[in-house]
Amino acid sequence: MSYFDQLYSSVYLLIKLNKPKSARRFARNYVLILKTGLILCILLFFMNFSQQMHLEFLSHKNVWTIFILIFIINIFNNWMYYNGKRHSIIISKSINRLRTKSLIYLVFIQLLVYMLVIILRKAAI
């Protein structure tokens, strides 16, 4: 099980206690937002790197175009990956382990990723 699968199962099991009907959607969106932040960090890093090396192939417009394309692909990838049989396998593996991450830990990961995005964005200016 990958790290994103573990986060998915943790969010799913935490949300399932309060809102069982929308737990899948919340867990899938949590993983999507986390992956989006990581992709944005990587793209901003390469954009800053290319600016400092005076390379013109990775401009602001190109970075945002690549980001939007990867975001759309990631939406469909998560939707296909975390539905159906794969969802059942992930949840059954996580229930056997009985190790879910706390809500504070899950929020901290998101904040950490987006603080890194802000720092890299400010470095680009």
pLDDT per residue as tens digits for the range 60-79: 888 889 999 999 999 999 98
Highest mean pLDDT among 81-85, 91-95, 97-101, 120-124: 81-85
% of residues, the chain, pLDDT over 70: 94
| Domain residue ranges of the chain, discontinuous segments joined by + | 3-124
pLDDT digits (tens, 9 = 90+) for 10-68: 888 888 888 888 999 999 999 999 999 999 999 988 888 888 888 877 788 888 899 99
**Comparing C-alpha atoms, which of 105, 123, 120, 122 is closest to residue 40?**
120
